Amino acid sequence: MMTNSSDPVVFCHGLFGWGADKFGGFPYFLSVQHLLRKHADRLPPCIFPSTGPISSIHDQACELFYQLIGGRVNYGYDHARKFGHAQYGRDYTGKALYPQWDAEHPLDFVCHSMGAPVVRMLQHLLESGFFSREDTTDYATDHRYVRSITTISGVHNGSTLTWILGVDPVTGRINKESPGLRILVGILERYARLQAKLPGVSRFYDLMLDQWGIAPGKVEREQMNRLLEDTAYIDSLDNALYDLTPNAMENLNRQLIEYPDTWYFSYVTCSTIPFGRKALPVPYWTHFFLIPTAFAMGTRVFPEEAMPLRVQRLWRANDGMCNAWSQDYPKLGRDASSRAGRRSRKERKAQHWETGLWHVQHRSRKFDHGEVAMFPHFLRRRTVRRYFMGIFKVIDMIRSRGD
């Protein structure tokens, strides 16, 4: 039995992800749900919130806070005014997932992909006293609301896939004619058409774009086209596509610091192998739909103004969505001598771990981006379950040290 087993672990999804109440109940963290069914007496309760699957890091952090503690989502007056969307979003009054959350009842977060910077932003906003109630009274929050952050395939330094999809590598600006935006438009148009035929589809998969005037259950193709053509959404840079660029993450990393009494762990996934100065995907390790992106990320050369060639070689290894180098811990925007993180040796015991420092726990060269979440390989399901059981054990160790 894990110590402090009554304290839940919060699992945060990544780009295009969903929580426990969406996708017809099909779990985003498939292997975790299996472990909870099989080992319910050995594991702590887990929370699987839903945040906007294509919303910005800031907006998702706000949605995560109010889902956990309750109340109406407040994105902040200054933020809403700057980026041109509504200040308030959905109301979770009476629907809080963990209403007793405070510094005396801290939470452990396990984040996949974009969920990593979302939770780092959440901790920053908690420390800065950003959150307030509808009556304008502030929540007395601080960084101690978060005991630990564990990231899996975390986009700590952005992904060069955003550049491949058409974001300008030098400026980070989104090209409206870019392949990435066209893909996004295509997905959202199909969603709008499906919504028109089946109004209940929003309960299955919810874009959660209320702040942009897209109400749940009322998505229309014209609304979606207007949103995507609106400069407030694309040009404001308050969206997931921009936030996942190395350009944006370099700026965010200067702002999102580590705190001295918080535990930080990262798990790196990679499904490519070196081939000269390139990196090529291994089909058995890479789902077929990620092979094209893994190949492009492992071979594409970008302008030197965006990134020196010698540095680009460090970014070639990837998992089909995120560069392995980016998953370690925040590096871009940090001083070269910063003690932001270090690799943890297998023999390193828990008593040697330090708070306020990222520990790279595991680097897998046989997992792609979807392996540890929605799409575990049929022949490696047990491996992925052991992977998550190891994460639960690490959380148990740090909880024991806090007692």
Place of tokens 């940090």: 334
Backbone torsion region of residue 113, taken as left when φ is above 0, otherwise alpha when ψ lies between -120 and 50, otherwise beta: left
Q: Based on the structure, what is the number of domains in the chain? A: 2
Whether 75 and 59 have beta carbons less than 8 Å apart is answered as yes
Domain ranges, residue 135: 9-162+242-274+314-402
Per-residue pLDDT tens listing for the chain (403 residues): 455 468 899 999 999 999 987 777 789 999 999 999 999 888 999 999 999 999 999 999 999 999 999 999 999 999 999 998 999 999 999 999 999 999 999 999 999 999 999 999 999 999 999 998 877 777 889 999 999 999 999 999 999 999 998 899 999 888 877 776 777 777 777 777 777 677 666 677 888 888 988 776 555 556 666 666 655 677 778 999 899 999 999 999 999 999 999 999 999 999 999 999 999 999 989 999 999 999 999 999 999 999 999 999 999 999 999 999 999 999 999 876 555 666 655 435 566 788 999 999 888 888 999 999 887 776 677 888 999 999 999 999 999 887 5
- Residue 153 CB-half CA count within 13 A: 25
Per DSSP, the residues of 123-154 read HHHHHTT--B-TTSPBP---GGGEEEEEEES-
pLDDT of residue 232: 62
Asked, for residue 282, whether it belongs to a domain, the answer is no
Q: Do both 253 and 228 map to the same domain?
A: no
Asked, for residue 298, whether it belongs to a domain, the answer is no
Cα separation of 115 and 368, whole Å? 16
Asked, for residue 301, whether it belongs to a domain, the answer is no
Q: Do both 118 and 102 map to the same domain?
A: yes
Q: Do both 52 and 109 map to the same domain?
A: yes
Per DSSP, the residues of 235-253 read TT--SHHHHTSHHHHHHHH
Cα separation of 9 and 111, whole Å? 10
Asked, for residue 255, whether it belongs to a domain, the answer is yes
SS3 state of residue 175: coil
Asked, for residue 285, whether it belongs to a domain, the answer is no
Whether 137 and 130 have beta carbons less than 8 Å apart is answered as no
Asked, for residue 300, whether it belongs to a domain, the answer is no
Asked, for residue 246, whether it belongs to a domain, the answer is yes
Q: Do both 139 and 218 map to the same domain?
A: no
Q: Do both 264 and 144 map to the same domain?
A: yes
Nearest 10 degrees: Cα torsion 55, 116, 383, 288:
40
pLDDT of residue 236: 75
Q: Do both 97 and 217 map to the same domain?
A: no
Distance of CA 260 to the CA centre of its chain: 22
Cα separations in angstroms, 232 against 1, 115, 237, 345: 50, 24, 8, 47
Residue 108's nearest CA partner among 13, 256, 8 is 8
Nearest 10 degrees: Cα torsion 69, 73, 79, 84:
160
Backbone dihedral angles phi then psi of residue 249, each to the nearest 5 degrees: -70, -30
Q: Do both 222 and 251 map to the same domain?
A: no
Backbone dihedral angles phi then psi of residue 91, each to the nearest 5 degrees: -105, 120
Amino acid at 349: K
Dihedral sign computed on CA atoms, order 333, 336, 337, 340 = positive
pLDDT of residue 320: 97
Residue 164 gets which letter from DSSP? H
Place of tokens 């404001």: 236
Residue 345 gets which letter from DSSP? P
Quote the pTM value. 0.93
Q: Do both 95 and 206 map to the same domain?
A: no
Give exposure, 107-133, as e/b (b: 16+ Cβ within 10 Å).
bbbbbbbbbbbbbbbbbbbbbeebbee
Bridge partners (DSSP) of residue 274 are 279
Cα separation of 26 and 154, whole Å? 22
Which tokens is 276 given? 């000269």
Residue 102's nearest CA partner among 79, 131, 74, 77 is 131
pLDDT of residue 276: 92
Asked, for residue 36, whether it belongs to a domain, the answer is yes
